[in-house]
Every structure is written in C-alpha cells, then in structure tokens.
Chains A and B, each alone.
Chain A
Amino acid sequence: MWDYTEKVLDLFYNPKNQGAIEDPSEAGVAVVFGEVGSIACGDALRLHLKIEVEADRILDARFQTFGCTSAIASSSALTEIIKGITLDEALNVSNRDIANYLGGLPEEKMHCSVMGQEALEAAIYKYRGIEVEHHEEDDGALICSCFGVSENRIRRVVIENNLTTVEQVTSYVKAGGGCSSCAAEIEDLIAAVQQEKALTATRVAAEIATAQAQNRPLTTVQKISLIQTALQEVRPMLLADGGDVELYDIEGDVVKVVLKGACGSCESSTATLKNAIEVRLRERVLPNLVVEAVA
C-alpha cells in the first residue's frame, strides 16, 4: 500500500472542484478544457478552465479524472493552485508545485502530478489557439512507444525535477514502464541532459570568474546562476524543517523567492528565513542584494 500524505487522502476522499464547467456564455468570460492521458494508460485528466478574457486570468478550474488516488488528489490540488492566477503564471506551475501542495507524492506516483501540469498546458495552449498537435510534433522524437512519450517531454521532466535514473523517469512520465526497450535511450538522454547542465555550469562559472576579475558587473544570467547555487546550499536546512525555497525572479538587485511549506506559513519565521537567505546571498553573490518573499 502506498504511503500517502494526509493531504492526498483528504483531497481523494473530499475532492475540491470536481466536475465540468458548463459554458456560461457570460460576457468577457471564456471556457476551455484540456485533456491528457487515456484509459489505456490507466489515467486521464480533463481540466476545465473558466478564463476572464480581459485579465487573462483563471476564474475557476474544475477537473474530471480517471485514475488512482494520487491522480485524483493531484487534479484537485492543481485546480486549487491555479484558481485566480493569470495564464502566464499558470504556465509556470510545475508538477513539483502540485506535489509540494500535496505534501509530497510517492516517487512512483509522480506521473500523476506531471499529468496535471500537462493538462494545464494543454488547456492554455488550446485557449490561445496553439495547435497541440504541432506542439507535440515539435517535441522531438518519440522515445517510448508503449506510453507515447517524446524526447522533449523526458528532457523537461529530467531538468525540472533533476532526475538521474531511468526508474525516476518512469515514475514521472511512465516512459520505460512497459516493454522497457526504450530504457537505454532514456539513459542516454539523462546523460546528455546532465552533461549539458555541467557544461553550462562550467561556462557560466568561467564567465563569472572573468567578470569578477575584470570588475565588470554580473549579467543577469550570471547572477541567477550564483543565486541558484547559493540557494541550493541553504535548502537542506529548510527542508529539514519542512520548508523549502525557490527562486521566483530577479529585478536588478531584488531577488524574489517563494518560501514553501513551513517556511511560508508564519510571519516571524518568514522574516528570519528571509534574512538568513539574504545573508547567504549577500556573502555569496553581491553585497547589495535584497531578498523578498513572494506569496
């Protein structure tokens, strides 16, 4: 039996926002839905969005899910996360956000959170008139024919979730979970992504070193890279206390971060943590950085 969090069980037994959105034909409002999965794959999600056209904002979100406990809970979580945010913000919602909202999912069930992210994307693309077929064609070669998973889908999930093994990829997008004849290709892909990552890291590090030696100001990319590394250093401490931090954006010397879990919940701890992070970033990156937590 899977070890589910209270939140997963709660959203499974008492799902929020289930059902479809009937087309209200209200002025200024559009209704759209996105679909992923299939009954063959064992899970499928139809995500319905009600969009305020003028503000490009999600007014309401509902789901219909065929799938296991975590598929249902993930769908319900997704609808809660995206209600009220703009479509652009919604496109930044990752499967990790869904899993985090649920207090985590067993790794073997991460594909349920990925399904949520993909349905959201499908709905928004559809609303914006971006041909989903085209989008999929652009996605590169088909790697896993058992589950119809393309190269780019695997790349994305590897990068976003920092995956290192074929088993993990299988848990996240199912690729490799059937006849497993694609396992070798997945392995190659992971290696390629890791290598690209390593190369970029060395290149940026070299650039930073030159910039610092010549006393040139850091470019934004360089700043982000340094900030990410510094954040990685503080994360274990936060994770140990049930929290987490993620870089949201930077504007000049203002670093915007999202505090998650326990870190986000109480005022005073937020301030302490913000300061702790700020101290670290100032000493690692630039002395004049200011850290702000976004909600």
Chain B
Amino acid sequence: MSAVIYLDNNATTQVDPEVVAAILPYLTQYYGNPSSMHSFGGQVGKALKQARNQVASLLGAEESEIIFTSCGTEGNNTAIRAAIAAQPDRKHLITTQVEHACVLNLFKQLEKQGYTVTYLSVNRKGQLDLMELEAAITGSTALVSTMYANNETGTVFPVEQAGAIAKEYGATFHVDAVQVAGKLPLNMKTSTIDLMTISGHKLHAPKGVGALFVRRGFRFRPLLVGGHQERGRRAGTENVAGIVGLGKAAELAQLHLADVATEKKLRDRLEKGLLAISDTELNGDRKNRLPNTTNIGFKYIEGEAILLSLDQYGICASSGSACTSGSLEPSHVLRAMGLPYTILHGSIRFSLSRNTTESDIDLVLEVMPGIVERLRALSPFNNDQAEWLQDREEAVVGAR
C-alpha cells in the first residue's frame, strides 16, 4: 500500500506538523513539573497558561473556564458526574439514544444507582425533536446531556434551543462537542451550555488530551481528586506536551475555520458521486450537518466487505456495521434512526479533514462503483422483495 487516503477523520486525525513542532521542546528541553517552585518548572507553567488561552479562544470562553483532561471520555464522565453532584436532590437525567458509548454506558450505570434516565429518540435523519425534550423534562431533572453533532452521521443538534429548555427547568446542560470543535464556530459567551467536552485528537492534536469547558460559577465537583492541579478541579500532573499540542491545535483550528467551506465542497462532490450509484441512500440530516461528514448506505452489501475492498486502494473509511467492531449488532445510531437492515449493514462513513485533497475524492469515486458492483454480484440480495429475508427480519426485530 503506498499513499493513504484518509477519510476517517471523525475517528481520529493526523497530528498537524506545527503541533508536533510545538510539542517537541516539552518532551526534550522543558521537562519540568509545572507545579514545582522553581523557574524551570515555572516555564512549563507558562506553556500551560498559553495553551489554556488558545483553547479558550477557540471555544469563545474564558481561560478560567477550561480544565484539561485526558480525553473525551474523561471529559464526558467528569461533566455528567459533576452535574449530578451539583444538584443531588434531582434524580432525573436526560440524554439521547445516539450518544457516544462513554456517555450511554455511564447513564446505564447511573440507572442502576437509582437515577431515572430519559433517552431521547431521533428521526430518520438522526435529528432530535425538541418537543420530546420539552415533554420529558421536569423540575426534578438534574441534567440534560447531548452531543453537539453525531460522530456517525454528522447530524448537528439544535443545542442552543435545547439548552434554553434545560435552563427553564433549572437543569444543567452538558454538551459533547468532540466532533464539533474546529469544525463549527463556537462561542460560549453567548451560549446556553454549562459544560462542554472536547478532545484533542479529533482536531489534529495528539491522543491523550482533551478539555472540558466549565461555565464560570458552576458548582463543580472534580472526578479525580488529589493534588491541586487545574485549580483543584482535575488532580494529577498535567500531560504538558499533550496540552501544549492541544493549544497549538486549537489555534490552528481557529485559523482554518475559514477553510471549512472548501472541505464541505469536497464532501459534497464525494457525496453526489456516491449517491449516483444505484440503491444508495444518505444517512443523516442533509441540512444540519457537519461540513466534513457523509454517511452513505449501500444497499444489499455489508460494510466490512466494503471497507476491506477500499483498503486495497489505501482508502480509509469507517462503517456502522457490526462486523468491524467485534460486536454483533450494527451501530446503535443508525438503528435509532430506524434504518432498514438492507441499509444498516452497508453504511459507510467518510469523514474529511483540511488535509483531504481533490485527488483523494477522485480515487474514491473511481473505485467505489466497481466495489459495490462486485459485492452485489456476490450477494443473494438485490432488491427489497427477497422474502426469505423479510420473514426473518421481522422475526428478529420482533424479538428485540
């Protein structure tokens, strides 16, 4: 395999060379502990401060509102637990069916601990219905927690409106913005969001670093206790190199926000070309969507087989099919959208970045029709009428 055509940027991104350059001195020269009482460590403390500034600026927040974390999972877990601790008398929580596992699994655990959780549904486009939120929320709701944009479909939720509803009932509003930071402009100053998670490796910083926005004045209880790092809100010696990298990445993301239109154009060209293949469907909300993501269902064939065929050409994408993950059930997101199995198992996500080029898209468009044709020729299914599947499909759906 020669060049890699990387269209899996919602999974992770390439670390920007400028980010690497910014990090290096903190792995070699400036290795001091930022908490130390000497100027060698002090230098490192300054680097942290600068990174905090850079991240705050990307989010339109204040420096004091940024806590560095180790990843999106830590950010989400911290935020949700903090929100619960802030209003211990309220035992009702609201989230959506399409959250990341680090949110869903935590809520499942909380259910076992006596909380009631409402999981808001999504429609065929993967979009939330705010009326459903209005109907579910009460005075005993401690937290509304939702993604800003879905990782699989790119569907962007109306978070500001959702936040306004949460506010009306005095509930904390947490947003998982891992897929959004660097792709859409953010401004926490005018936002209804109380807590917001971001993750470094989704915006060209390394893995192992993230940040949590905590609105000033929020009664915050830390998840990790120990030393007084992060002003007592996240104990543990800071991942200085990672944080410096996240700072630089945030700065670059802000500069590149203007280029997002180009990315979107490429995405649209890719999408149009792929949808020209017969029996394909777009999964997600065409209008309210991340500019870099497209998720397309190729009917009657299976996702892993498509991915491996793409891999032959060095093309990296991702699938909501169960076979890729070791789990046996297809993506909970696509299932929540109510997609039929014919599409569900053959859905592929292409997610672009600012590094994606015209020729990357050209190659995908060149090889994809052949791949689909080959796999369909192998498949016993070629139309929705094949009854021997329909019976079974109903049986299985009914059993769930």
Chain A residues near B (Cβ < 8 Å): 1-2, 9, 12-13, 15, 18-19, 35, 37-46, 64-69, 71-72, 108, 145-148, 170, 174, 177-179
> Which one of B123-131, B304-312, B360-368 is at the interface?
B304-312
Knowing A64-B379, A146-B400, A148-B396 touch, does A40 contact B341 (C-beta < 8 A)?
yes
Q: Are B381 and A12 in contact, with the CB atoms below 8 A?
A: no
Contacts of B328 in A (CB 8 A): 42, 147, 170, 174, 177-178
- How many A-B contacts are there with CB distance less than 8 Å? 102
* Nearest CB of A to B376, in Å: 9
9 A–B contacts from the bound complex (CB under 8 Å) = A39-B393, A42-B322, A42-B330, A46-B380, A65-B378, A68-B304, A71-B302, A72-B305, A146-B399
Q: A39-B389, A68-B321 are in contact. List 8 more A-B contacts (CB 8 A).
A: A18-B378, A19-B377, A39-B342, A67-B305, A68-B304, A69-B323, A148-B395, A179-B400
Chain B residues near A (Cβ < 8 Å): 300-305, 308, 311-312, 321-323, 326-330, 341-342, 345, 377-381, 386, 388-389, 392-393, 395-397, 399-400
Contacts of B386 in A (CB 8 A): 39
Q: Are B329 and A44 in contact, with the CB atoms below 8 A?
A: no
Q: Are A69 and B378 in contact, with the CB atoms below 8 A?
A: no
Q: Are B392 and A38 in contact, with the CB atoms below 8 A?
A: yes
State the CA gap A13–B378 with chains docked (Å).
Answer: 11
Q: What residue in chain B is nearest A38 (Cβ atoms)?
A: B392
Q: Are B380 and A67 in contact, with the CB atoms below 8 A?
A: no
The 10 residue pairs across chains A and B that have the minimum distance between CB atoms = A177-B328, A38-B392, A64-B380, A68-B304, A68-B323, A145-B399, A40-B396, A46-B380, A40-B393, A39-B389
Q: What residue in chain A is nearest B308 (Cβ atoms)?
A: A69
Contacts of B389 in A (CB 8 A): 38-40, 44
Partner of A42, one of B321, B379, B397: B321
* Nearest CB of A to B400, in Å: 7
State the CA gap A55–B389 with chains docked (Å).
Answer: 33
Partner of B305, one of A41, A69, A148: A69
State the CA gap A12–B380 with chains docked (Å).
Answer: 16
Knowing A13-B312, A42-B322, A178-B329 touch, does A66 contact B396 (C-beta < 8 A)?
no
State the CA gap A46–B395 with chains docked (Å).
Answer: 19
State the CA gap A42–B381 with chains docked (Å).
Answer: 12
Contacts of B392 in A (CB 8 A): 37-41, 148
Q: What residue in chain A is nearest B303 (Cβ atoms)?
A: A68
Contacts of A13 in B (CB 8 A): 312
